[in-house]
Structure 1
Amino acid sequence: MGRPDKYDANLPKNLTYRKGRKSYAWRNPVDGKEISLGKISRRDAVAQAIEANHYIEKNFTPIALLEQLKGTNEYTMANWLDRYEVILQRRKLAANTYKVRAGQLATIGEHFGALVLSSITTRDVAEFLERWTACGKTTMAGTMRSVLSDVFREAVVEGRVDANPVTPTRAPKIEVLRERLEYESFMAVRAGAERMPSWFGLAMDLALVTGQRREDVARMRFTDIKDDRLYIEQQKTGACLAIPLSLTLKASGLRLSTVIDRCRLVSRCDFLISPGIRKNSEDGSINLDSLTKGFVKARNFSGLEFTDNPPSFHEIRSLAGRMYEVEFGKEFAQKLFGHKSEKMTAKYLDSRKKEFVMI
């Protein structure tokens, strides 16, 4: 028979020294299996055993009887996300917002789903957000932090957790990189659009004179025009606007009724902006990517030099807001945007330039 293992009270728990083989072994307390560490130094064996014991304690700690009676040990993040979706539905958000949020919750579920909700720590949250922060994707990190914070905030309200582990984390500093579109640049890009199908140039004009998002410009129909007004229900926020056809952006010379009349000459369906009824669009609606890619094409035709983050089609909305603010004031711009808060409007009206204060 081989020599018995040597017991050493100074060794970490689960670690033994096999005197006969002059080696160390560690016993897994979860399944009872023994793992040989080989003929390594006492120092290395102790370090590895301590690390393994810490891992077991963190992930396989026996559940207290009281926790089992309460059922808190089994309530995972996945369970809570099912409940959170019900809460989210009650907020009556726009369809597009639900779609975006669903993707964000799926990402949270993939990372935290199997974990017990009450066991998730601030460190766990920080490590989760680091995947975007480390890549410089601070906007995405900030968005996920906001969503995750709301998930836990509702869990606190319903008594599922005692505190929000997201709160102590630092909100990433988001630097706006996208270059603003100025009116002179808009006109140059608009001239470039003359080399493209006529509907695209009209889409740019319609976006500027109405100040609406790309999604809403693409959905505008002739049947939405009633009593000399263009009725719009914004897809993102659900805000409802009734814009008079007499609306005129004086600096650009654009009048809404005139732009719509030009759309009637081009469109062959109910949509104001349409390349026509085709195989992949039986109703004549336009794919949003067509506006995005079309703007890039017109921008290249313009011959202008931009930064590494050139303005997109969406920047026409900001330009419209800044121009309307000059002509009619900030309150008018806020109503046209459909914003409930001045803070959101201020983001669009920010020219992102250094401006001198006139004394």
Structure 2
Amino acid sequence: MRKPLTNKTIEALKPKAKRYEVRDTYCPGFGLRVTPKGRKTFFVAYRYGIDQRRPALGTFPITSLAKARNEAISILRDVVDGIDPQQSRGRDDLTLREGVEAFVEQYAKPRNKSWRESERVLTRELVSRFGEREIAKMTRADILVASDAAMARGAKYQANRIVSNARKLFNWFVERGMIDANPLTGIRAPAREKSRDRILTDDELARVIAACRDMPYPFGPYTLMLLATAQRRSEVANMRWSEINFEKRTWEIPAERSKNGKAHNVPLSDFAIKIFDNVLQFSDCDFAFTTTRRSPISGITKMHRRIYEISETSGWRLHDLRRTASSKMAEAGIQLQVAEKVLNHISGSLGGIAGVYNRYHYEPEKRAALEAWAHVLAEIEAKGFDR
């Protein structure tokens, strides 16, 4: 989409279900990106040598249209003059907000399928505190303020994510010549992490299923779909109606949303198909689970706490439902490589050389495994729980 970008035009742009861009007719290469949450970020697209680049220039209205356009013109002028904008662009006044936006666009997105999580951690924990501070003035103590706050509220894994993502961010700044040294050099992870092994008991599963049956759309059906398909939280949250084939009883997760970057076909069992009876479908929205009709389901933390209360269970996470499904499949005699195909794992028995040469997709076996798991769930629900 191309429009003359003015303050009035930008203010009138509304978020859509998918991110979109508006290119400026006044300055070729300059544009604005609008996310489903309504965030509006300026960028400039150009080619230097063989590299195609799209650095972020700030977020509207914190960064004004005039400032962003002038910066874009300056960058494009450098390109015409044969000067590398990454080297010539003044680094002293680059803010952390601008640096994070550039890092996500130029580094995280092209290399990391879970870039959204990196963006979320950096934005929520660092940009929210120090967004307008110049990156050259960021200190080790600043980063530790954020990680210590996470530790204080009991989120020790989040504290680790803050440090690891910040370390990667500042290493990237160093590589680009934006700063001279990484302030986090020598800093260890704040907390020791243990691999989780939590599996829900049959009684807990019965309680959780009953609680979800009583919960309204989208939260109850969403949690049941996590349980029935054994897929990842983000994958189920982003499920689209256009990905579901009811005739073939399949759900196709596209490669761009799959953690390992490979498209994944999920057979839908009878248990899963019946969940759709309580899933609302809106004519103007492709998301199966949504609270806004413009973006995937939100408020999952509150939903989880509510399930705890209704089911009178505790100490488990949504990811533990996936581990429970895998373990129950093993109890039912499902072979390991089949369970890994259901989970869309590329490690374990299907990793390394075995994964290179074994191109069989195990579709019939995957369907049999999920039907067996559905049978287990149906029996557990029918049996009920101890009162």
Q: TM bucket by the smaller chain?
A: 0.5 to 0.7
Instruction: Give 3-state SS (helix, strand or coil) of 2:321's partner.
Output: helix
5 Å matches for 1:114-263?
A: 114-115=133-134, 117=136, 120-174=138-192, 180-195=199-214, 204-217=223-236, 219=239, 221=241, 224-225=244-245, 227=248, 229-233=250-254, 235=257, 237=259, 239-245=262-268, 256=269, 258-263=270-275
| Cα offsets for 1:135-192 (capped at 9, x unmatched) | 4332222111111111112123223344432131121115679965333310233244
> Alpha-carbon deviation of 1:296?
5.3
> Alpha-carbon deviation of 1:79?
5.4
Contact kept, 8 Å, 1:129 with 1:144, in 2: the verdict is yes
| Cα offsets for 1:85-104 (capped at 9, x unmatched) | 3323652655x843761562
Contact kept, 8 Å, 1:199 with 1:263, in 2: the verdict is no
Q: Would the alpha carbon gap of residues 221 and 325 (structure 1) be closer, same or farther in structure 2, given more than 3 Å must change?
A: farther
> 1:203 & 1:196 partners in 2: Cα distance?
10
Q: Would the alpha carbon gap of residues 324 and 88 (structure 1) be closer, same or farther in structure 2, given more than 3 Å must change?
A: farther
Contact kept, 8 Å, 2:174 with 2:182, in 1: the verdict is yes
Which of 311, 335, 343 is equivalent to 2:341? 335
The percent of aligned pairs where both chains have the same amino acid is 19
Contact kept, 8 Å, 2:135 with 2:179, in 1: the verdict is no
Q: Would the alpha carbon gap of residues 212 and 284 (structure 1) be closer, same or farther in structure 2, given more than 3 Å must change?
A: closer
Unaligned 5+ segments in structure 2 are 1-87, 292-296, 352-387
**Which amino acid in structure 2 is aligned with residue 231 of structure 1?**
E
Contact kept, 8 Å, 2:222 with 2:289, in 1: the verdict is no
Contact kept, 8 Å, 2:240 with 2:288, in 1: the verdict is no
Matched, 1:322 2:327: yes
Calculate the TM-score normalised by the size of structure 2: 0.49
Q: Would the alpha carbon gap of residues 136 and 313 (structure 1) be closer, same or farther in structure 2, given more than 3 Å must change?
A: closer
Give the stretch that moved more between structures: 106-115 or 174-183.
Answer: 174-183
Contact kept, 8 Å, 1:202 with 1:263, in 2: the verdict is yes
Q: Would the alpha carbon gap of residues 144 and 221 (structure 1) be closer, same or farther in structure 2, given more than 3 Å must change?
A: same
Determine the structure 2 residue equivalent to 1:348: none
5 Å matches for 1:42-57?
A: none
> 1:220 & 1:85 partners in 2: Cα distance?
25
**Which amino acid in structure 1 is aligned with residue 320 of structure 2?**
E
Contact kept, 8 Å, 1:183 with 1:319, in 2: the verdict is no
**Which amino acid in structure 1 is aligned with residue 321 of structure 2?**
I
5 Å matches for 1:11-90?
A: 73-74=92-93, 77=96, 80-88=99-107, 90=109
**Which amino acid in structure 1 is aligned with residue 241 of structure 2?**
R
Contact kept, 8 Å, 1:324 with 1:332, in 2: the verdict is no
Instruction: Give 3-state SS (helix, strand or coil) of 2:183's partner.
Output: coil
Instruction: Give 3-state SS (helix, strand or coil) of 1:91's partner.
Output: helix
Q: Would the alpha carbon gap of residues 104 and 221 (structure 1) be closer, same or farther in structure 2, given more than 3 Å must change?
A: same
> 1:282 & 1:259 partners in 2: Cα distance?
22
> 1:70 & 1:232 partners in 2: Cα distance?
41
Q: CA RMSD in A?
A: 4.5
Higher Cα Rg, which structure: 1
Calculate the TM-score normalised by the size of structure 1: 0.53
| Cα offsets for 1:282-323 (capped at 9, x unmatched) | 987443358766665555444x4x45xx43544322211222
Instruction: Give 3-state SS (helix, strand or coil) of 2:253's partner.
Output: strand
